[in-house]
A and B are shown apart, each in its own frame.
Chain A
Amino acid sequence: MSTLLEVQGVSVTFDGFKAINNLSFTIGLPELRAVIGPNGAGKTTFMDIVTGKTRPDAGTVRWGEMGHSLLSMSEARIAREGIGRKFQRPTVFEDQTVRENLRVSLKKPRGPFSAMFDRVTPEDTARIEEIAAEIGLSDHLNRKAGILSHGQKQWLEIGMLLAQDPRLLLVDEPAAGMTTEERNHTADLLKRLAKNHAVVVVEHDMEFVRRLDCRVTVLHEGSVLAEGSLEHVMGDERVIEVYLGR
């Protein structure tokens, strides 16, 4: 396992409020990591920093074998480097069909002229159908994403992430709005992905985290409070205090 992403000493302040405070975080390839923490701990903001949406006031974010800094790259460039993201609130293109949503996500050249002359190859179709089967949307390929249920939109966004085939997947609260069965399926899917990807999963649901069966990082007030197995961090007094003391 080699280091893929290394975040070091990162801080972000919003209007005087320190959302991220001297945060350090490392993930290798392949690896599965769960990030937990109370509301407002800075989990989403952490993902915003890695994906270039929010620029930190201090710290470094290094990427890949060469340790390139992500801080000077645009969001689109970072995505092309191989970092994919599923948002906390499902964000899909509601006005477009499930098939179109998956098609724009497929790992292909991103320039405007490639897009103009892009043809759906048999391999593309096969991949789209394979993903649709995986996310349980095979029967919905030609329906607008806007009419899907909340859970189905979550699935579609996971499907878009699969289509992108990034090296690092940042998955923000994937299980929200899903049935127990769907949650289990999601957890198994993420575990399978983590065999050859780096996957960071933010989740509140402890059952889900337990099922992931991986290293856990606890965030609190913008810094890492504890890290280790789920049993280990749940036994940590400070973690107990943060979770119960609210």
Chain B
Amino acid sequence: MGNSIFVRNRSVPIFIGVLALVALAVTFLSPAYGTGAVSVSFTKILGMTLCLCLAALAMDLVWGYCGILSLGHFAFFGLGGYMIGMWLMTARTEAVIRANLAESPIPPTEGEVSQATALQIFSVVGAEDWPWMWAVSDSLILSLLLVMLVPGLLALVFGWLAFRSRVTGVYLSILTQAMTLALSLYLFQNDTGLRGNNGLSGLQNIPGADAIGQERLSVWFFWASALALGLGYVGAAWLVSGKFGSIVRGIRDDELRVRFLGYPVEVYKLVVFTVSAMICGVAGALYYPQAGIINPDEIAPIASIYLAVWVAIGGRGRLYGAVIGAAAVSLLSTWFTSGRAPNVDLGFYEINWIDWWPVLLGLGFVLVTLFAPRGLAGLFDYLVRKEDT
């Protein structure tokens, strides 16, 4: 295994080691398996943060390595959430309905259970029948497949149209914004079948897991998120190493030169874009059961811009930079916007962080861009450089 990615890319063993340590620490501080110093809700926040890190990793693949500044990647993240959310809601609601109907003197037929479930789920949008897109929502396996297939397919179609017409740069970024905006507006409609602005809720209640309890479930989801991030990291590191990575970085730096070497540039872009969208789908599917709810607001254009900001702050084109950026900024954001950060009383004015956090983030972004253009992770370079010389 002298040639394995663990040896070729030094950041891989370090990253996996740090991730394992974090997972161990969270486990031993959790209420279910340890001291309880970390609450259930904070365990969930940490698990969700890992999912955001995975999305940032996917963003780094397209932007940091392939030079495609996608400002629509949260669409894929949200779609992953919706795909698993449909199964969670269906299975959970059906279980509740069955429990209720079990008390009636005549056992209900399957049709009646299905009818009652649909009514329960869709009455908020004034509907009572299953929309077509819920066709496989009773199958976990198929829903898990859709978690990757639907974002992948959207990316494939969108990318094929955009890359084939050689849309690049800021025009492509605008198109991706339009894509995520269009998707969120579509989902806001009550009659599209995904419950409009109500979104899908109660996703934290995993069907059949009532006996397990949120204390343990939150740690399990944290582990699953850590595993996904670890696998994602190894996979991404493998993809960007070697010849494929060389070509993709070539496309970022000089697309025309790559074409003149005979490489079908749009096919490469399509592969990277689609793979990255599928990773985002997985990240979303792990995120929303921890968040408990998903609605169309989640894929508003601003969400995808934040994703790009995290990667820029963390440092592009080095994988761990994206993870550091996403973890640092999203945790800070949670801290500042949840009311935990103490307000600053200036006498004449009180700084309320819920309002002022976006300003602070914007300022931080500007400072990083000006003084550390390679991002927070780029600061490691100075350390390494000193070691080497």
- List A residues at the B interface (Cβ < 8 Å): 51, 53, 74-77, 79-80, 84-85, 87, 91-96, 100, 103-105, 110-112, 115-116, 118, 160, 164
Q: A104-B243, A116-B239 are in contact. Are A76 and B259 (CB under 8 A)?
A: yes
B112 within 8 A of A: no
Q: Residue-by-residue, is B223-258 near A (CB-CB < 8 Å gives 1, otherwise 0)?
A: 000000000000000010011101101100110111
The 9 closest A-B pairs by CB, nearest first: A79-B262, A75-B259, A118-B243, A80-B262, A115-B244, A116-B244, A115-B243, A112-B271, A76-B259
CB within 8 Å of A: which B249-307 residues? 249-250, 253-254, 256-265, 267-268, 271
Contact assessment for B249 and A93 in the assembled complex, using a CB-CB cutoff below 8 Å:
yes
Q: A112-B268, A116-B239 are in contact. Are A104 and B256 (CB under 8 A)?
A: no
CB distance from B152 to the nearest CB of A (A): 15
Contact assessment for B243 and A164 in the assembled complex, using a CB-CB cutoff below 8 Å:
no
Q: Number of contact residues on B: which range applies? A: 20 to 34
CB distance from A202 to the nearest CB of B (A): 16
Contact assessment for A105 and B261 in the assembled complex, using a CB-CB cutoff below 8 Å:
yes
A-B contact count (CB 8 A): 75
Contact assessment for A164 and B261 in the assembled complex, using a CB-CB cutoff below 8 Å:
yes
Contact assessment for B260 and A96 in the assembled complex, using a CB-CB cutoff below 8 Å:
no
CB distance from B371 to the nearest CB of A (A): 22
Expressed in whole angstroms, the Cα–Cα distance for A80 and B254 within the complex equals 18
Cβ–Cβ < 8 Å partners of B268 in chain A: 112, 115
Query: Can you identify 5 A-B contacts, CB atoms within 8 angstroms?
Result: A85-B260, A91-B254, A104-B247, A115-B268, A164-B262
Contact assessment for B263 and A76 in the assembled complex, using a CB-CB cutoff below 8 Å:
yes
A108 — nearest CB in chain B belongs to which residue? Answer: B243
Contact assessment for A93 and B257 in the assembled complex, using a CB-CB cutoff below 8 Å:
yes
CB distance from A165 to the nearest CB of B (A): 11
Please classify the interface of chain B as helix (H, G, I), strand (E, B), loop, or mixed, using the class held by over half of its residues.
helix
Expressed in whole angstroms, the Cα–Cα distance for A52 and B125 within the complex equals 55
Expressed in whole angstroms, the Cα–Cα distance for A103 and B253 within the complex equals 17
Cβ–Cβ < 8 Å partners of B243 in chain A: 103-104, 115-116, 118
Contact assessment for B254 and A93 in the assembled complex, using a CB-CB cutoff below 8 Å:
yes
Expressed in whole angstroms, the Cα–Cα distance for A184 and B211 within the complex equals 82
B250 — nearest CB in chain A belongs to which residue? Answer: A93
20 further interface pairs, Cβ-Cβ under 8 Å (given A103-B243, A115-B243, A116-B242): A74-B259, A74-B264, A77-B262, A79-B259, A85-B260, A91-B256, A91-B257, A93-B249, A93-B254, A93-B257, A94-B253, A104-B243, A110-B261, A110-B263, A111-B264, A112-B267, A112-B268, A115-B263, A118-B244, A160-B261
Cβ–Cβ < 8 Å partners of A76 in chain B: 259-260, 262-265
Q: Which of B250, B259, B264 contacts A104 (CB 8 A)?
A: B250
Cβ–Cβ < 8 Å partners of A100 in chain B: 246
A146 — nearest CB in chain B belongs to which residue? Answer: B253
